[in-house]
Amino acid sequence: MLKEIVARYLASADMNVVMRLLAEVSQYDRYQASQGINAAADLLAGVAYDIGLTTVRIDRFIADGTPRWWTFKAPTAWTPTVARLSAVLDDEAVFELDLARQPFSLATYSKPTPSDGLAVRFEILREDTPQETLAGAIVLVSKELFRSADLVDRLVSAKAEGFVTDGPCCDTMDGEGAPGRIELGAEAPLFGFSVTSNRLSELRAAVRRGATARVQIDIDRRAPMPVVHAILDGDGESEVLLTAHLCHPRPGANDNASGVAAILGVADAHIRGRRDGTARSQGRLRFQWGPEFLGTVAQLHASLEHNAHPLPSSVINLDMVGEDQQICACPFVLERSPDTIPSRLNDVAEEVVGAVFEATGNYPGVWRSAPFLGYSDHAMYVDPKIARPAIQLCHYPDRFNHSAADTIDKVSVVEMTRATVAAAAIAEIMTDIGERPFAMGHSTVRATGDVAQAAGVDGSGGQGTRALTAVWPGPLNLRAMTEALPSHRRTRLLHAIRADKYNLALLFNLAIRSDGRRTRAAVVQSVSNAMRRPVDPAQAEELINCLLESGWIREI
């Protein structure tokens, strides 16, 4: 039966619709509350209506940076309409940089300049550069110095106007490189430009010859934060939510125009199946596109605090699903829902993805199942107060991620097909089986709670006498948790996460397992089992102490 479902969606998925939408979305700079993301939302809603989703709406939220959803703040409206930097020598521009021509070249939330621009000097940063020489300058920062956790704080303290760096520069196959993403704080008192290493060397040479800077940055602060919804009604009690974040600077083809378009493809395939009578399931499907995390949290707040709509039975998140594996050097990944929430979803998803790759075996590419990491929107649903099983289809690590090299030529139609078909089939099965057993190719689906128990997780508390318990409001907000830390602890945590993002996954997993029944030792053991490898005790101790000092968990 499962192979028949997969074959049906392989035959019915219209990848022309999917790829056309992907290309159109990738043309917009989709900052979380910008004119670009609103234009992309309008485009998406129109396409959703055209394919037959009649219940389509866009919710637009005020983007003023204030706390709005538990501990989460609304984004700050920010649309750069002009962003140009020149190095001038003898009244001639010897170096020019323009966001209109070079995506990712302006740091998100950079401050604007006066309307007529700014003429200042450059300063090349060295380890021994006195702070006072940076005041009022645009500072050139090497990749090595940019990696310092307190670099931006140092520049702010020195009252620098801004900086230019190749810090996040991405290597590309042509050797030229591509600018990478820089994100400043929403109220940053400076601006930043991201360039390739070759361009930074070019600019540094001009500065050594005496070049000075001219900068113009204009910012539009009127845009709201949009979230697009669409519903495909059904007769069953179960509802599957399919979600993909709409934000990111252009092109963002794989991250995440790919997920946005694939979900639209899922909706289109289900509509076609219902029209021609081939779809077996008539369950309810909800589709959601918005800014990463914040769009999801806004909708959860509406569900939990205002009863706007019920919570879904299960969640499928699509984030970076189109990567050409041979170019991007990353497999197709099914990130499992954590074992804290008993569900059939993990096993259904693994069987489906396996069947999809078997059916498309003539094309290159591999897939793997991975533990829950929580780097995207699905993490909001597995919070203990919400407790909805949530998986993610994705690719990682993509070597072009968060850079101007994330272009449509890195997207594989085959991978897009695999993601669209897998999500469509998983959604159909999950709306159909509910809590009933479902015979699969290799086994009968079981609850993930059984897996955790078989792995030896001690739910009763384990060693010691004091248990860890979660006390944060709303879904877990690790950014707010970090901001609540004493400055020395916050700096150490941010440095650890910057050095290895896996620390962020450990932090999330430690937090959601602090259920009032497990001691420190039992929480760490539970995470080790879930992550399929032992957690270093000292590393775990440091992260748990962060959670305790922030006030997000406590010992009882």
In the chain, the amino acid numbered 483 is E
Q: Strand locations in 113-209, DSSP E?
A: 118-120, 122-124, 138-141, 162-165, 191-194
Rounded distance between C-alpha atoms, residue 541 and residue 537, angstroms: 6
Helices (H), 218-344: 258-276, 294-306, 325-328
**In 3-state terms, the chain is what percent helix, strand and coil (to 5)?**
40, 25, 40
* DSSP code string of 415-465: HHHHHHHHHHHHHHHHHHHTTS--B-SSSB---HHHHHHHTT--TT--SSS
Helix (H) / strand (E) element for 369: namely strand 367-370
| Residue 548 sits in the same domain as residue 441 | no
Q: Which of 392, 424, 447 lies at the terminal end of a domain, its last residue?
A: 447
User: Could you tell me the CA-to-CA distances from 25 to 279, 292, 362, 423 in Å, in that order?
Assistant: 29, 15, 30, 20
Rounded distance between C-alpha atoms, residue 454 and residue 449, angstroms: 9
Residues 436-447: b if buried by 16+ CB within 10 A, e if exposed:
eebebeeeebeb
Q: Which of 391, 422, 447 lies at the terminal end of a domain, its last residue?
A: 447
Q: Which domain holds residue 260?
A: 2-75+224-447
Cα Rg, the chain, nearest whole Å: 24
Q: Which of 220, 247, 273 lies at the terminal end of a domain, its last residue?
A: 220
Rounded distance between C-alpha atoms, residue 214 and residue 121, angstroms: 9
| Residue 390 sits in the same domain as residue 436 | yes
| Residue 321 sits in the same domain as residue 436 | yes
Rounded distance between C-alpha atoms, residue 53 and residue 30, angstroms: 23
Sign of CA dihedral 472, 475, 481, 483: negative
Per-residue pLDDT tens digits of the chain, which is 556 residues long = 899 999 999 999 999 999 999 999 999 999 999 999 999 999 999 999 999 998 999 999 999 999 999 999 999 999 999 999 999 999 999 999 999 999 999 999 999 999 999 999 999 999 999 999 999 999 999 999 998 878 999 999 999 999 999 999 999 988 889 999 999 999 999 999 999 999 999 999 999 999 999 999 999 999 999 999 999 998 877 899 999 999 999 999 999 999 999 999 999 999 999 988 877 667 899 999 999 999 999 999 999 988 878 899 999 999 999 999 999 999 999 999 999 999 999 999 999 999 999 999 999 999 999 999 999 999 999 999 999 999 999 999 999 999 999 999 999 999 999 999 999 999 999 998 754 444 454 433 333 333 333 333 344 434 457 999 999 999 999 999 999 999 999 989 999 998 899 999 999 999 999 999 999 999 999 999 999 999 999 999 999 999 999 999 999 9
Residue 384 sits in a domain of what CATH number? Answer: 3.40.630.10
Q: pLDDT tens-digit profile of 292-310?
A: 999 999 999 999 988 878 8
Q: How many domains does the chain have?
A: 3
Q: Please state whether the predicted TM-score (pTM) of the whole model is above 0.85.
A: yes
| Residue 329 sits in the same domain as residue 295 | yes
Helix (H) / strand (E) element for 509: namely helix 502-512
| Residue 254 sits in the same domain as residue 363 | yes
Looking only at the bridges linking them, the beta strands covering 138-141 and 367-370 are unpaired
Q: Are 451 and 344 in contact (CB under 8 A)?
A: no
Residues 6+ apart with CB under 8 A from 326: 364
62 sits in the region (left: phi over 0; alpha: psi -120 to 50; else beta) called: beta
| Residue 129 sits in the same domain as residue 191 | yes
Burial of 174 from C-beta contacts in 10 A (0-12 / 13-18 / 19+): exposed
| Residue 105 sits in the same domain as residue 207 | yes
Closest CA to 170 of 329, 52, 308: 329
